């Protein structure tokens, strides 16, 4: 099915939820989000998109590793030397990745096991206790789907969910919010059957709408401050998609010119 421009609304509001507590392993994120919506006097509505920072997903899943408990392999030690990084951290990066794409002083660009191309497998050393690091969630699509289902059951609203992270890019400085996992909404809009004003086929044929929403929400979350890891985005007429997956946003290796 192709999308038309009806997806583009005239007005959108975004709200960062206040009062999400520091997340511990085993915490129920849907409950924390539901509670925060109540305390923020912001009842969820159908078609809201809830953007959740990966960090709290990872923490709720206990994806925190103590570097002193990691035994680096020979490859990790060698790459650590080449990149001037901690060998234990490099081991975790390798464990979390399908392949190394580039490496340079201080940075290793990999294809994460879930397909994202990113620096250091998305492993975060900030906002963890000293000596610990935070891995990306086990399966962000599954987490997003679970959150969407649970929020529907508990709050009564059919919402989309995006698990997001701040990710660096080729060619441009600075991170932007991008999608790690998605549920309930079509992440990539296909405009290939849409005609422009002069009845020509559109040149831009696919829009990464989930990444645009993740970027928007990221600007409200800020960095490092865990007080605002959840943003409610209201007004997008996102296309429902029961089988949404971040995989739609990941370019296949054969079509990728920058591996």
Binders of a copy of itself in range 133-172 (CB under 8 A): 166, 169-172
Strand partners, 227: none
Is 38 near a copy of itself (CB under 8 A)? no
Which has the closest alpha carbon to 223: 147, 170, 164? Answer: 164
Tokens of 182: 């998605």
Which has the closest alpha carbon to 102: 127, 128, 126, 120? Answer: 120
- Length of the chain, in residues: 259
In angstroms, the CA 175 to CA 222 distance is 11
How many CB atoms neighbour CB 86 within 10 A?
A: 17
Which of 65, 176, 185, 239: binder of a copy of itself (CB under 8 A)? 176
Query: How far, rounded to the nearest angstrom, does the alpha carbon of residue 83 sit from its chain's CA centroid?
Result: 26
In angstroms, the CA 124 to CA 26 distance is 19
Q: By CB under 8 A, what part of segment 117-136 binds a copy of itself?
A: 117, 124-130
- Span from 1-9, 23-31, 92-100, 139-147 in contact with a copy of itself (CB under 8 A): 1-9
Residue 182 CB, shortest distance to a copy of itself, in Å, is: 12
How many CB atoms neighbour CB 257 within 10 A?
A: 5
Is 257 near a copy of itself (CB under 8 A)? yes
- Span from 65-73, 90-98, 151-159, 251-259 in contact with a copy of itself (CB under 8 A): 251-259
- Span from 10-18, 59-67, 68-76, 140-148 in contact with a copy of itself (CB under 8 A): 10-18
Is 100 near a copy of itself (CB under 8 A)? no
Which of 24, 174, 242, 243: binder of a copy of itself (CB under 8 A)? 174
Which of 41, 173, 242, 243: binder of a copy of itself (CB under 8 A)? 173
Which of 28, 45, 149, 212: binder of a copy of itself (CB under 8 A)? 212
């Amino acid at each position: 099915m192709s999308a038309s421009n009806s997806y583009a609304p005239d007005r959108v509001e975004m709200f960062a939820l206040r009062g999400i507590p520091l997340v511990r392993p085993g915490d129920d994120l849907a409950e924390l989000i539901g509670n925060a919506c109540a305390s923020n006097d912001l009842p969820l509505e159908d078609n809201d998109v809830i953007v959740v920072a990966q960090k709290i997903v990872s923490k709720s899943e206990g994806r925190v590793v103590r570097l002193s408990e990691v035994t680096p392999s020979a490859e990790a030690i060698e790459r650590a030397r080449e990149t001037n990084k901690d060998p234990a951290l490099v081991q975790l990066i390798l464990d979390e990745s399908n392949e190394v794409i580039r490496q340079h002083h201080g940075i290793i660009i990999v294809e994460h096991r879930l397909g994202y191309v990113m620096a250091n497998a998305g492993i975060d050393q900030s906002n963890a206790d000293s000596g610990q690091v935070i891995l990306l969630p086990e399966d962000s699509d599954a987490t997003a789907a679970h959150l969407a289902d649970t929020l529907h059951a508990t709050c009564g609203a059919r919402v989309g969910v995006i698990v997001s992270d701040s990710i660096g890019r080729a060619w441009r400085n600075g991170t932007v919010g991008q999608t790690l996992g998605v549920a309930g909404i079509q992440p990539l809009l296909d405009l290939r059957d849409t005609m422009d004003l002069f009845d020509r086929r559109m040149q831009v044929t696919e829009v990464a709408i989930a990444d645009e929403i993740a970027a928007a929400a990221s600007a409200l979350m800020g960095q490092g401050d865990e007080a605002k890891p959840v943003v409610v985005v209201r007004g997008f007429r996102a296309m429902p998609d029961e089988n949404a997956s971040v995989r739609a946003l990941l370019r296949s290796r054969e079509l990728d010119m920058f591996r």
